[in-house]
Amino acid sequence: MAVDLLLGLQWGDEGKGKIVDYLTKNYNIIARFQGGPNAGHTLEFDGIKHVLHTIPSGIFHKEAVNVVGNGVVIDPVIFQKELNALAKFNLDFKETLLISRKAHIILPTHRLLDAASETSKGKAKIGSTLKGIGPTYMDKTGRNGIRIGDLEFDNWKEKYRQLANKHQALIEFYNVDVQYNLKELEHEFFEAIESIKSLQFIDSEEYLHQAQIDNKTILAEGAQGSLLDIDFGTYPFVTSSNTTAAGACTGLGIAPNKIKNVFGIFKAYTTRVGSGPFPTELFDEDGARMAKVGNEFGATTGRPRRCGWLDLVALKYAVQVNGVTELMMMKGDVLSGFKTLKVCVAYKYKGEEIQHLPYNIEAENLEPVYKEFKGWKEDISKHSDFDSLPQTLKDYIKFIEDELHVPIKIVSVGPDRKETILR
C-alpha cells in the first residue's frame, strides 16, 4: 500500500496536529518523520485541548499504531511528560506507540548548548525553542550521537559521559552566562530513560516496509513547516531537519516511489515564531487582530507569533518542493470580519517584480505586491458544507487554487475536530 504524507507549507504551526487527528480514521499507522519537542501539535475534541510534542497525532485513536521515526530527535524528559499527560486517556502505549531504535536522543547538555549558542549570537539569534534540537542533529551528522537503540546495551552510559563532558567543555568555550545544575538535570534524564524503556523499540524502516507488504495504510506526519527546512527554508533562521517531503523518506526509510498523496497544510494567512525574514509581516491593527482572534501563541514556548497576510510566492515554492497533491486551508474563521484581505502575489526586488524566493530574502530587500479581496462578515465556524460558505471566502479559495494548481480539499473553520469542512 502506498504511503501518504502530511506536512506544513509555511513556518510551522499550520494546524498539522488537528488534521492528522482528523484523518487518522483512514490510516492504520501514523509515523512522525522529523523534528522533536520543538513542535507543538494542538488537538481539540470533546471539549478537551491537548498539545503533543513528539508523540504522533494519531495517538487518540485506539486502533492506530503511532511510530516515532528514525528522523525524530527525542528528549526523554519531555517524552515522559507527554506520556504522563496522556495517562488520563487510558491508552495502551505498549501496542500503539513504537519508537525507532535509530532515533537520536536529546541530552540535557544539548539543551544547554542550544542556550549557549543562542546567547552567543546576540541579536542574530535564531529564536530557537531551546529544546536542544540543533546540537542533537549536529551530533547525529557529526557521528557522535546516542540513539534509542543504544539504551539496549550496557555501555551506553559511558558514551553518554564522554559526550556530556565534551558538551560541558563546549559550553565553557562559548563563555556566556548559562546557569545549570547538571546533577539535577541528569537525575530527571536517567529517570525518564528508565520509564521510556518500557515502550517498544523497533527497527522502524523494517516495520514500515512489512506494513506496506501487509497492505496497511500509513500517514507520514511532518513537524514544523517547509520554510523552516534546513536546506530550503529561510536559512539560517530554520530548524535543523528536512521538514519537506524528502524528509519522510530519510526519516522513516520509505522509498520515494511509495509516496502517493502529499497533503500540504497552510493557514489562510501567515505566521512565524522566532527570528528571520517574513515579507508579509504586519505591524498594524490587522496583524494584532490575527494574533488575537487566531490565539497566535507558540504551543511549545508560549511566545507570541508574528502575523501577516498570505504569501502565495512562498506557498508556491513550498508546493513545488514538496510535490503537494492536495491542500488543506486552516483558520479561515480567523479572517472573518476583515473588510479587505490581501494576498502577496509577487515581490518587488531590486527594482523588479519577481515571483520566486530570492536567495537573500531579508525584509529590507523585498516589498510584497498585494492583490486585494473583499472580506466576509459572518462567523463561519458553524458551517459544515462548502457551498454554504460566504461567496467572498469561496472567491479567496478559488484564487489560491488557481494560482497553486492544486485543489483545496479541507477547509478548517475552527480548532475542534468537528469544525472541519471536507470537500
Residues that bind ligand IMP (CB under 6 A): 11-13, 38-40, 126-129, 131, 133-134, 223-224, 228, 237, 239, 273-274
Identify whether 62 is a catalytic site residue. no
Q: Which three cell numbers, joined as nine digits, stand for 63?
A: 486502533
Considering beta carbons, is residue 267 or 383 the nearer one to ligand IMP? Answer: 267
Backbone angles phi, psi at 115, to 5 degrees: -65, -45
Is 54 annotated for ligand binding?
Answer: no
Is 17 annotated for ligand binding?
Answer: yes
The active-site residue, picked from 4, 13, 229, 286, is: 13
- Of 218, 203, 241, 188, give the one whose Cα is nearest residue 38: 241
Helix, strand or coil for residue 230? coil
Give me the least distance between CB of 143 and ligand IMP, in Å please: 21
Give me the least distance between CB of 34 and ligand IMP, in Å please: 10
Q: What residue is closest to ligand IMP based on CB?
A: 274
Residue 228: DSSP 8-state:
G
* H runs (alpha helix) in 122-228: 133-141, 156-174, 182-196, 204-213
- The span from the CA of 278 to the CA of 161, in Å, is 41
Give me the least distance between CB of 264 and ligand IMP, in Å please: 16
Considering beta carbons, is residue 127 or 323 the nearer one to ligand IMP? Answer: 127
Is 381 annotated for ligand binding?
Answer: no
For the CA atoms of 175, 178, 183, 186, the dihedral, rounded to the nearest 10 degrees, stands at -100
Identify whether 395 is a catalytic site residue. no
The active-site residue, picked from 102, 104, 131, 140, is: 140
- The span from the CA of 338 to the CA of 308, in Å, is 13
Q: Which three cell numbers, joined as nine digits, stand for 65?
A: 499504531
Identify whether 383 is a catalytic site residue. no
Considering beta carbons, is residue 59 or 151 the nearer one to ligand IMP? Answer: 59
- The span from the CA of 319 to the CA of 407, in Å, is 12
Considering beta carbons, is residue 29 or 133 the nearer one to ligand IMP? Answer: 133
- Of 354, 352, 348, 357, give the one whose Cα is nearest residue 319: 357
List, as residue ranges, the binding site for GTP.
12-18, 40-42, 305, 331-333, 412-414
List, as residue ranges, the binding site.
12-18, 38-42, 129, 143, 224, 239, 299-305, 331-333, 412-414
**Positions marked active-site:** 13, 41, 140
